[in-house]
């Protein structure tokens, strides 16, 4: 299985009240990040068999926007194992539940998503990787220990996109 761990896209400023924060949705920049990262997944021809999301609104919106853009036609699976307060044991059980799928996209939150990723890669959580908002990490779960294949965040994707779309040939005029 190829596991794609994605941090939810930009949802603005955190709310002090946890109930209000759970209902915080994506802002315009977050929606643009979703479209950009879905474009990256499409360009890399990533097969997505299952999309799983945290129950919080910002993660669910991220999963739905990206799912729509990559042509995912099923419902997004909602799991508390990706919620901000989730622990590694629940995350591990979730991985086992979908181990037969070829490509699984899971959308969650920091800091636990970073911790889960570090623990997957080292077995003890010794790795520290930064997942910016909207970032996606691809992990090859068939290897032991699992292997990080790539980690792309919206800033990097935007930089690559602008450098590729810029012509490398000098402009010449034809008269």
pTM of the prediction? 0.89
Indicate the angle between helix axes 28-43 and 57-70, nearest 10 degrees: 40
pLDDT tens digits, the chain, 175 residues: what are they?
999 999 999 999 988 888 888 899 999 999 999 999 999 999 999 999 999 999 999 999 999 999 999 999 999 999 999 999 999 999 999 999 999 999 999 999 999 999 999 999 988 877 778 899 999 999 999 988 899 999 999 999 999 888 877 665 666 665 5
Q: Checking DSSP bridges between strand 2-7 and strand 136-140, what pairing results, if any?
A: antiparallel
Domains and CATH numbers, the chain: 2-162 (3.40.50.1240)
Largest CA distance in the chain: 69
């Amino acid at each position: 299985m190829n596991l794609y761990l994605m941090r939810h896209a930009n949802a603005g400023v955190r709310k002090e009240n946890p109930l209000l924060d759970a209902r915080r949705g994506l802002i315009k920049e977050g929606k643009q990040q979703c479209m950009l990262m879905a474009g990256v997944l499409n360009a890399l021809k990533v097969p997505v068999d299952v999309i799983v999301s945290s129950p919080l609104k910002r993660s669910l919106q991220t999963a739905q926007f990206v799912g729509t853009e990559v042509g995912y036609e099923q419902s997004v699976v909602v799991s508390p194992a990706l919620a901000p307060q989730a622990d590694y044991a629940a995350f591990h059980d979730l991985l086992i539940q979908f181990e037969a799928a070829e490509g699984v996209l899971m959308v969650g939150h920091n800091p636990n998503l970073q911790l889960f990723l570090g623990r997957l890669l080292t077995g003890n959580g010794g790795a520290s990787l930064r997942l910016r908002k909207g970032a996606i990490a691809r992990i090859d779960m068939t290897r032991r220990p699992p292997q990080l294949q790539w980690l792309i965040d919206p800033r990097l994707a935007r930089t690559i996109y602008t450098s590729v779309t810029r012509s490398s040939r000098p402009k010449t005029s034809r008269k």
